[in-house]
Amino acid sequence: MTDAAPHLRGPAGTTAGPWLRVLGTATLVVVFVAWGVAFAVGAESMFLLSRHVGQQRTDAMASASVVLTLVGAAVLLARHRRPLLVAGTVAVLAAGSLLLAGATNGYELAIGAALFTVAAACPPRTAWLLTAAVVVPVLVVARAAPLVTLVGSLAAGGVPGELDAVGWFRLPGQLGDVVPPWWIVTALPVVVLALFGVAFGTLVRTTRLRTAALEEAAAARAAEQEQRARFTQADERARVAREMHDVIAHSITVMVALGGGAAAALDRSPEHARHALEELVDTGRGALEDVRRILGVLHTPAPGAPHVADGDASGGDVLTAPQPGVEDLDRLVDRFRTAGLPVRTSGLVVAGLDGLDPTAQLTVYRVVQESLTNTLRHAPGTAAVDVVVRRAADALEVVVADRGAGPDAVVPAVTGAAGASRSPGRGITGMAGRVDAFGGTLEAGPHGDGWRVRAVLPGAGAGATRGVSAAPGPGSDPTTQGEA
């Protein structure tokens, strides 16, 4: 027989209600034993039997009843561990009780309990097939065993042998009153309790499975929420890291260049040195404010404190504090010019460019900032750097191209996914992430003797602003644009 015990365990793998199960089994065994022993040693029933079959056979029948009852009680103790085996064994013992003692001696109760356990542990098809396999043989034995008729007639007060034509007993002293064949009376409780046990066990199993499914669904939802929270946390960390890189890498690069330029011009051009130092201080202050703003994301805001903004599709709006936009590009370019880069611009002051979505403005600003920072770091002696912002009807293009640090300069490029050429560094990866958030493309790689970064933001062109006319199309070379 198959061990069906795992079906009785709860959804978490632990046995459900162990004390309740033990109490139920103990109660069942006590009732079963009391029922069987009471019938076996009942004074009146033993006296009547002895008159018809003799004292010796009566004692043998009583002994068989007691032994079968005790064996059945021991078998019932294992019904939760081996429900199929117990059900089959109980059926055999019930048939033996009918053959040896002429009565079920409480085995109808044992059969109902065993089938309840099977139905609670196994699929309905298995439970009903086993019910038929248990009940039908018991009915056949009840119909065929001669002791069933004898014991039944004595228990009903009838006289053995006084039967009508269809086998119904006539009760003495009650003329015309009859009882049905005793095997039917014996079998009826077996059938009723068996059906009740299977039906109730099936209900318990269905309820248990439904509860387990609900708990599993709740656990799956909790796991999904936890995973979503982890993804959100990872995105937040990546966003903070990108912002920190954009701010710190740019600011430190510019501050080093400004400090170096101020030191070089200190003797021959004090005024230029003073201007460079002032710009260095402003850059440092701005960087400090940006760092404070970004680090604020890492702390849970207190009630009434500023909250994290949700409007930045690229992860730029980390707090409600104002973010850099296209109106800050001129000052950004001036800062790099002060640091020594010969920057030429085109398209930065076209009317209506500041009407772009704030997220698009921040992306444009960061692309220009990172590109100029890389040029200042890797090609500080370039002959020129061109910054061009072009708008078409359905896209915004940003191009930053330098002339290279010299004929011996080595400028690596790595081709990435989504049609973008990217450096393995965090800076270009961060730019690509911002542009990808708009469904755009980023190209970064060698161009002529220098390096070019080209970003295209679809949906952020002239159609995204009000009262803006399109600038020259994306096909022209940025190095041919005039200096603003």
Pairing of the two strands 385-391 and 343-346 = parallel
DSSP class of 479: G
Segment 291-309 mean pLDDT: 57
Return the axis-axis angle of helices 182-265 and 329-338, rounded to nearest 10°: 50
pLDDT of 468 reads 31
Please give the pLDDT value at position 385: 93
Closest CA to 274 of 258, 295, 256, 296: 258
| pLDDT of 103 over the 80 cut | no
pLDDT at 307: 47
CB 350 within 8 A of CB 361: no
pLDDT interval class at 186 (50, 70, 90): confident
Whether the model clears a pTM of 0.75, i.e. scores above it, the answer is no
User: Residue 276 has what pLDDT?
Assistant: 80
pLDDT computed for residue 391 by the predictor = 81
pLDDT at 125: 92
Is the pLDDT assigned to residue 401 strictly greater than 90?
A: yes
- Taking alpha carbons only, the member of 287, 235, 230, 293 closest to residue 258 is 287
Q: How many CB atoms lie within 10 A of CB 325?
A: 18
| CA 389, chain centre distance (Å) | 45
Asked whether the predicted pLDDT for residue 130 surpasses 80, the reply is: yes
Domain ranges across the chain: 5-225, 329-484
Q: Which amino acid is at 428?
A: I
Q: Is 373 exposed, middle or buried (0-12, 13-18, 19+ CB in 10 A)?
A: buried
Give yes or no for residue 453 having a pLDDT over 90.
yes
Task: Assign domain 329-484 to its CATH superfamily.
Answer: Histidine kinase-like ATPase, C-terminal domain (3.30.565.10)
Stretch 375-397: mean pLDDT, rounded?
86
CA angle centred on 409, ends 404 and 415, rounded to 5°: 80
Residue 31 has pLDDT above 80, yes or no: no
Predicted pLDDT of residue 9: 46
Q: For 317-354, how does the pLDDT look when each residue is reduced to its tens digit (9 = 90+)? A: 444 456 788 888 888 888 888 888 899 988 776 545 66
Which one has a higher pLDDT value, 136 or 405? 136
What is d(CA 278, CA 280) in angstroms, rounded to the nearest whole number? Answer: 5
**Higher-pLDDT residue of 385, 29:** 385
Q: How far apart are the C-alpha atoms of 292 and 332, rounded to whole Å?
A: 20
